[in-house]
Amino acid sequence: MDSQTYSNHRRLHPIYHFFLTLVLLATLTGIVVLVIREGLSLSAVLFLLIFVIIAVSFFLVRAYPLKAQDRAIRAEENLRHYVLTGQLLDSRLTISQITALRFASDAEFPELCRKAAAQNLSPNAIKKSINTWRADNYRI
């Protein structure tokens, strides 16, 4: 991706977002059919428990790396704000706002941070306010 904008900044991982989601839904469908046919037999209950374990793992596999990335983004943006202004980020900013602010160029970053904190802008509103995008091609 050469340049990033509001319209193309979201990233999807096809294997995770499409293939694995479809496999998970197909497995759930199969288990529902099994429970309808056999009732709550031992095998149906075991398959249901295995499905629950896999489904929880499916969501955690995505959630944990994103949490780690959010922490890194918060630290990076706090440092960038300090370098640009001599002050740390406003403590009123949420992690969602900070992750949205990372797309702002250095020229508009400090003012957009003040505006986001003062007006409690949503992450979507922050992204729409950005004039010059700074690409983040590392987020998954």
Band (140; pLDDT cuts 50, 70, 90)? low
The pTM is what? 0.73
| DSSP string for the chain | --S--GGG-----HIIIIIIHHHHHHHHHHHHHHHHHH-S-HHHHHHHHHHHHHHHHHHHHHHHHHHHHHHHHHHHHHHHHHHHHSSPPPTT--HHHHHHHTTB-TTTHHHHHHHHHHHT--HHHHHHH-SSB----S--
Could you read off the pLDDT of 82-114 as tens digits, one per residue?
999 999 999 999 999 999 999 999 999 999 999
Could you read off the pLDDT of 9-63 as tens digits, one per residue?
766 778 888 899 999 999 999 999 999 998 889 999 999 999 999 999 989 998 9
Say yes or no to pLDDT of 134 above 80: yes
Instruction: At 73, list the tokens.
Output: 């983004």
pLDDT at 13: 77
